[in-house]
Structure 1
């Protein structure tokens, strides 16, 4: 019998499974893929690109700004796809495992199915409009022995960071009528699924943290918090993609990356986008202070 009280997670899992069945879709027939995106519409709101608020953005032509939104969308989708590859692998190992109740296992089947669909639609977008999926960047994964429950908490904390990050951009894009219809529809579909995934992440992490964190030695908790803050920072850095700048016709892409990362406007944007996730981690004890992002 699982020692963790998963009453709320089990109840939520039943509801989420029912919603996933009700909203089931065929990813291969859900989108129309034009030969090219509308050159008069953005693929992402310019105000949330990595160059928003910088002198570089002000120096770009309209064509370069349009290209930047396309290649930054491809970066977002590539990073999410690469993160979901790891998520799918981890979810599969949890099916019918000792840490998963029948209710959780049932929902994990839907979780897996939806993440696979996301990889398909992101992969098609990137291959069609950016010419490739941008390669995976190595993120900060933990190694060595772990405290009870730590591996599972790390897994869902990583999942929540990646999913909440992408979901912010989904919502902004799907609500912006300046953006291309395909980019908006992909964002809408992804947001619809991610809203359920994030609800599950929050419920499961809350109960796992309540059970396990009080039992961890102080040095384990300190090391975990340092790792989580580092993971959140690195996840952000991967979005500032020199290859995307180069593909958009922007000169000196590595210098532009460093300028953008250091920009006060971008620091504010990173804090604003991450605020909800940080507050949740502070609330359940996974962080004890706001990380510098």
Structure 2
């Protein structure tokens, strides 16, 4: 294993990621200026990404209310990111139980887990810095999230990683250079996008190698899970409590407006475009999945 020329293809790819990590590594504790003041006028997410943007309800809000809604939506997104990366680390840790601890693949898995731990801390610090509160799952949601590790096995480890990483990553890339964005948020997004690019490449490579070996049963199961992933993602991104915290009395009504918002659906569709094309190319989105993804604005 010492000679790179003798590495297995998946280990050769993992070695390149390990090299990239050494060259471009961030520690959010010191690489973000947490003491920098917040701009009293700038938003916490670009307006175009806020779920109500473009609706009459959005237009009826004052700038201060729009700013507060962007703060609450950011806190919700970051909270979901913490849940997801917690779950992903548990899945990756389980993968290591059956992996070769001397392989570059296992070494990059450990490296990614370290990145995700720092990202969870970065998200938590950012929620606190923007003076918001996290959106933590209720007991039922906590049970569902924890039980996912039972069902996400084999190819679904990597599909789950991509669904959780690629959509948000693509939206981040569209918005992190927005001059109206709070600088501390833009900096955190920049760090996350840089490191997440390696994680996405790792998951894509693992999935591509897995697909040719899948049985018909695993393929059917994966297609079912992919179909379910779309409504789950939209549900998490449109938590009705964030509208209430932003001062909109009818939170559930605001959520219905957000989910039917053509602009929000287009934003999600752009974010999911590369992921949807990749999964479709590998035959992992069946007819049912395509219908559901289109209905949710992800295709």
TM-score between both structures, scaled by the size of structure 2: 0.86
Q: Residue 199 in 1 paired to residue 197 in 2?
A: no
Query: By how many angstroms is 1:96 displaced?
Result: 5.7
Conserved 8 A contact 2:42-2:67: yes
C-alpha contact 1:41 1:178 (8 A) present in aligned 2: yes
**Is the 8 Å Cα contact of residues 173 and 183 (structure 1) preserved in structure 2?**
no
User: In structure 2, how many angstroms separate the alpha carbons of the residues matched to 1:97 and 1:229?
Assistant: 28
Is 1:71–1:248's contact at 8 Å kept on the other side of the alignment? yes
- Mapped to 2, the partners of 1:116 and 1:255 lie a distance apart of 35
Verify the 8 A CA contact 1:43 1:183 in the aligned structure 2: yes
Number of residue pairs aligned between Structure 1 and Structure 2: 280
User: Cα 1:140–1:280, aligned 2, differ >3 Å: closer, same or farther?
Assistant: farther
Matched, 1:24 2:29: no
Q: Distance in 2 between matches of 1:169 and 1:248?
A: 22
Equivalent residue number for residue 171 of structure 1:
173
Residues 1:91 and 1:143: Cα distance change in structure 2 (over 3 Å) = closer
Alpha-carbon displacement from aligned partner over 1:144-180 (angstroms, at most 9, x marks no partner): 8x8xxx8121111111111112212321332111111
Q: Determine which of 169, 176, 184 is the counterpart of 1:182.
A: 184
Distance 2:132 2:43 in 1: 18
Give 1:80's aligned residue.
Answer: 81
1:62-77 correspondence to structure 2 within 5 Å: 62-77=63-78
Query: Residue 32 of structure 1: SS of its match in structure 2?
Result: coil
Aligned partners of 1:266 and 1:26: how far apart in 2? 32
Name structure 2 gaps, 5 residues minimum: 1-6
**Equivalent residues in 2 for 1:66-215 (5 A)?**
66-95=67-96, 97-98=98-99, 102-136=103-137, 137=141, 138=144, 151-212=153-214, 215=215
CA–CA separation in structure 1 for the residues paired with 2:101 and 2:234: 31
Alpha-carbon offset, residue 103 of structure 1: 1.4
Q: Which residue of 2 aligns with 1:216?
A: 216
> What secondary structure sits across from 2:104 in the alignment?
helix
Measure, in 2, the Cα distance between the counterparts of 1:276 and 1:141.
28
TM-score with structure 1 length normalisation? Answer: 0.87
Q: Which secondary structure does the structure 2 equivalent of 1:151 belong to?
A: coil
Contact 2:15 2:104 in 1 (8 A): yes
- Render the CA deviation track for 1:217-245: whole Å, top value 9, x for unaligned: 4xx53343122111122112211122211
- Give yes or no for contact 2:43–2:67 (8 Å, CA) kept in 1: yes
Contact in 2 for aligned 1:45/1:172 (Cα 8 Å) = no
